[in-house]
Amino acid sequence: MKKQFLISVLILSSITLLADNNLRLKKSNDKPKEEIKEVKNIIKLNLGQVGNNGAVGLSYEKMLNKSVSASLSIFGKYNSATIGSKSTEKTSGVGFMPEVRFYALPDYSAPRGLYLSAFYNYYSETYEVKRTDIFSSFEETGSVKSTFNAVGATIGWMFRIKSSFVIDLSVGPAFESIDSPSLYDIKSSNGSVIRTEQSPNSSSSRLTGIFRFSLGYAF
Is residue 45's pLDDT more than 70? yes
- pLDDT, tens digit, 9 for 90 and up, residues 72-111: 999 898 888 887 667 888 999 999 999 999 999 988 888 9
- pLDDT, tens digit, 9 for 90 and up, residues 152-209: 999 999 999 988 999 999 999 999 999 999 999 999 888 899 999 999 988 999 999 8
CATH for 103: 2.40.160.20
Please write down the HEC assignment for all residues of the chain.
Answer: CHHHHHHHHHHHHHHHHHHHHHHHHHHHCCCCCCCCCCCCEEEEEEEEEECCCCCEEEEEEEECCCCEEEEEEEEEEEEEEEECCCEEEEEEEEEEEEEEEEECCCCCCCCCEEEEEEEEEEEEEEEEEEEECCCCCCEEEEEEEEEEEEEEEEEEEEEEECCCEEEEEEEEEEEEEEECCCEEEEEECCCCEEEEEECCCCCEEEEEEEEEEEEEEEC
- pLDDT, tens digit, 9 for 90 and up, residues 118-131: 999 999 999 999 98
Q: How confident is the model at residue 13 (pLDDT cuts 50, 70, 90)?
A: low
Domain that holds residue 112: 2-218
Domain total for the chain?
1
